[in-house]
Amino acid sequence: MKVGLIGLGNMGYHFGSRLLAAGHELVVFDNSATALERLREKGAQIASSSCDLADQVELVLLCLPMPSIVESVVCADDGVMHGKAVRTIVDLSTTGPSVTDAVAKRAAERGIEWVGSPVSGGTIGAEKGTLTLMASGLDSAFKAAEPILQVLGKNIFYLGATPSLGQTMKIVNNTLCAVSIVASCETLVYGAKAGLDPQTMLDVINVSSGRNFATQEKIPQCIVNREFPTRFTTDLLHKDIKLCMEEAEKLGVPMTVSPAARQFLAFAISQGDGPRDYANIIRHIEGWAGQEFGKAVSK
């Protein structure tokens, strides 16, 4: 199958690599010449613009960092929706419900079906094909995209015909992620300063009621060993919780805990953590507490 992919960053590169490895013909576009070259070397064809790409393929995948960029890539004068061949757009980005509904409506006016399918699982999941995909859109569009989604992820959920339902699910999930990482970091630093061994704390929590993604995956993989690899940036997690709070406000749903997590992420960004993995937020708590988490506490 011939597929188009726009956005070749940390996630998009792995998407492109998996599609090529699965035998699909791939046309790609990105503003970065370096990103294009990495996939060209693997066999991808390079388009000259978003519209040029959409002139060549019926199914276009988007993997872009911000809602405004998704809107521009699709709706600009040289955007995807003006392509002659495109019939289905699959948005793997976290775009948010409002922008998704607006852009999907404009695409539909040109006879193009939309699947909103944000993902969860980070760069490791993208590389291994173990992502969770939260898809929504017309059933016909989902069925057209499903064979491609199966190459990219392991857990594929179809959430309904409204294009934005997948986006709603994603920002709900990532807001819970943001709240849990902030709460986990501050409590674990407290425990370490009080004399508990960091690894023992995680072992206890992860078979007890406090366990969550941060304690089970993020902190053991990224913080205990003090390596802090970049898998999902603080900027992106802040964007997602901001989207969730804005959409909840539109529906009249109160949020009292999530704003505190958002505020802490905003502080971390102001200290230069925006492009760094969000695991780095623990460093601020450690600095204030005078206690590093991840080194054994002397008994």
Q: Tens place of pLDDT for every residue, the chain, 299 residues?
A: 999 999 999 999 999 999 999 999 999 999 999 999 999 999 999 999 999 999 999 999 999 999 999 999 999 999 999 999 999 999 999 999 999 999 999 999 999 999 999 999 989 999 999 999 999 999 999 999 999 999 999 999 999 999 999 999 999 999 999 999 999 999 999 999 999 999 999 999 999 999 999 999 999 999 999 999 999 999 999 999 999 999 999 999 999 999 999 999 999 999 999 999 999 999 999 999 999 998 654 44
Local structure of residue 298 (DSSP, 8 states):
P
**Residue type at 102 in one-letter notation:** A
Kind of pairing, strands 2-6 and 45-46?
unpaired
pLDDT score recorded for residue 297: 47
Measured from the Cβ of residue 194, the count of other Cβ atoms closer than 10 Å reads: 10
Distance of alpha carbon 280 from its chain centroid, rounded?
Answer: 18
pLDDT at position 299, please? Answer: 42
On whether the CB atoms of residues 134 and 162 are closer than 8 A, the answer is no
176-212: per-residue pLDDT in tens?
A: 999 999 999 999 999 999 999 999 999 999 999 999 9
128 is catalytic: no
25-29/2-6 β-pairing: parallel
Q: Which of 170, 218, 239, 242 is catalytic?
A: 170
What residue type is assigned to position 182 of the chain? Answer: V
> Across all residues in the chain, what is the average pLDDT?
96
CB atoms within 10 A of CB 23: 8
Residue owning tokens 């690894």: 199
The one-character DSSP state at 172 is H
3-class DSSP state for residue 116?
strand
pLDDT in tens, 122-136: 899 999 999 999 999
How far is 100 from 75, CA to CA, in rounded Å? 12
- For residues 55 and 72, the answer to whether their CB atoms sit within 8 Å is no
Quick one: pLDDT at residue 298? Answer: 44
pLDDT at 21: 98
Whole-number Å distance between alpha carbons of 64 and 272: 22
Distance CA(218)–CA(213), nearest Å, equals 6
The predicted structure's pLDDT at residue 238: 97
* Percent of the residues in the chain that have a pLDDT greater than 90, as a whole number: 97
The set of residues, in sequence order, having a beta carbon less than 8 Å from that of 175 and lying 6+ positions away, is: 240, 241, 244, 245, 258, 261
Range list of H helices, the chain: 10-21, 33-40, 50-54, 67-75, 97-108, 122-128, 139-152, 165-193, 198-205, 213, 219-222, 234-250, 258-268, 282-289
DSSP β-bridge partners for residue 134: 157
Sorted by where each starts, the structural domains of the chain and their CATH numbers stand as 2-163 (3.40.50.720), 167-289 (1.10.1040.10)
Q: How many other C-beta atoms lie within 10 A of the C-beta of residue 250? A: 10
Q: What is the CB neighbour count within 10 angstroms for residue 94?
A: 27
Instruction: Name the burial class of residue 48, with classes exposed (0-12), middle (13-18) and buried (19+) by CB atoms within 10 angstroms of its CB.
Output: exposed
Cβ–Cβ contacts within 10 Å for residue 229, how many?
12
